[in-house]
Structure 1
């Protein structure tokens, strides 16, 4: 894929390296001459320009990109970049970095954002995941808030330990997509066993999250 990253600071450069290693074509757009350092990532295409300006985006050929990542340290800039690339250039997928958690409510489809990534929220979620076995942890919001990626670690106390995936009764609008067990990534099948300590990843709407937790603990959920 051809991916444009607006913002070539430490975060933007790190994303670029990861995506280049994965085989993608990367364009870094940076308005600061201080951060515009092509020698640091010579495999990427570098553009010295303001990604908040239509003319700059047009000259960079942003419409040829499959994905745009707004990765600057300024939420206002990331919102403007998202809106312009989505509405003016019809970029298929726009991912935006949220620097200030209080601004997260703005990063929606109305501003052209398909996926909002809040580093503080993700770090907090990782801490919760590490210490709260049996509690549901929201890792990421998907599709403009229509669904969330959530995680639960199967506690030893649940009656589901030792049973099969088919015995986990989930509500409508929820799906178990992956089980992490040790170093394995398991795509769950109905006959697969469940083990205490399994990290279970679900995609679900917010209103059924409580029911997922009840199902994992094998207790009646709120209707």
Structure 2
């Protein structure tokens, strides 16, 4: 995979290093000569140019890139790079860094952004994820489809503890992506049984997050029957 990164500061170089270790081709673009530090990421290609200018992006052959990452410290620059990458060069995947949380609403498909990464929001989410049990935590917002990557650690008294994944009537527009269980990463199958302390990761529509949290956090008791499909062969009640 070929990846172009606009912004060769500490963030851009760190991303480049990770991608290179995973076997990808990386091009770093920056207009500041002091940021061109080839010795820091020698395996990458480097281009001294303004990523907001069409001539620079032509020189970078952006049309050959599978992914463009706008990683500068200026939100205006990141939006322009994202828009040009998507509309002028048809880059399949555009990821953009959000520096100021107040600007996050702009980073959507109208500006060519497929995935917006807000560092303050991500740090806040990771703190919540580390300390929260029974609360749904939004880890990442996807610009397309109004969907989010969300996480919930299953509390010990949750009604779903001991329930097969295939027996749970998940809300519509939600998908259980993986289960983190101790040091293991479990790809969920219908016969897997949910355990207390499981860290469940979902891709879910924003409108379904509250419903999903209610389902996962309901304590053991009569409400448990509402979360699990009928075992006696009767048809399930229709979902919203």
Equivalent pair of 1:181/1:197 in contact (CA under 8 Å): yes
**Structure 1 stretches of 5 or more lacking a match?**
none
1:53-106 deviations in Å (ceiling 9; x for gaps)? 000000111111010000001100000000111111111110000011110000
Whole-angstrom CA distance in 1 between matches of 2:129 and 2:169? 22
Q: Supply the distance in 1 between the matched residues of 2:99 and 2:149 (Cα, whole angstroms).
A: 20
Check conservation: 1:3, 1:27, Cα contact below 8 A: yes
> Aligned residue for 1:144?
144
Structure 1 residues 192-211: aligned runs within 5 Å: 192-211=192-211
- 8 Å CA contact 1:168, 1:215 repeated in 2: no
Match of 2:233 in 1: none
1:158 alignment partner in structure 2: 158
Q: Does the CA-based 8 Å contact 2:116-2:143 persist in structure 1?
A: no
144-153 or 43-52: bigger deviation = 144-153
Deviation at 1:163, TM superposition (A): 2.0
Question: In 2, distance between residues paired with 1:19 and 1:145?
Answer: 26
- Counterpart of 1:12 in structure 2 is 12
- Following superposition, the deviation at residue 169 of structure 1 comes to 1.9
Aligned to 2:172: 172
Aligned equivalent of 1:126: 126
Deviation of the 1:144 alpha carbon: 3.1
Secondary structure at 1:34 match in 2:
helix
Q: How does 1:21-170 map to 2 (within 5 A)?
A: 21-144=21-144, 146-170=146-170
Distance, in Å, in 2 between the alignment partners of 1:132 and 1:123 is 14
- Residue 23 of structure 1 deviates from its aligned partner by 0.4
Cα pair 2:5 2:69 within 8 Å, conserved: yes
> Hey, which bits of structure 1, 4+ residues long, moved more than 4 A?
none
Specify the SS of the correspondent of 1:196.
Answer: coil
Q: Structure 2 CA distance, aligned partners of 1:72 and 1:14? A: 12
Check whether the contact 2:162–2:195 (CA below 8 A) recurs between aligned residues: yes
Tell me how far 1:142 sits from its aligned partner.
Answer: 1.3
Q: Secondary structure at the match of 1:163?
A: coil
- The TM-score, its normalising length taken from structure 1, stands at 0.96
> Contact 1:181 / 1:199 at 8 angstroms: preserved in 2?
yes
Instruction: Please identify the structure whose Cα radius of gyration is greater.
Output: 2
After superposing the two structures, state which structure 1 stretch, 5-14 or 138-147, moved more. 138-147
Measure how far apart 1:217 and its partner are. Answer: 2.3
Q: How many residue pairs end up in the alignment?
A: 223
**Residue 143 of structure 1: how far off its partner (Å):** 3.7
CA separation in 1, counterparts of 2:161 and 2:64? 49
Q: 1:52 to 1:8 in 2, by over 3 A?
A: same
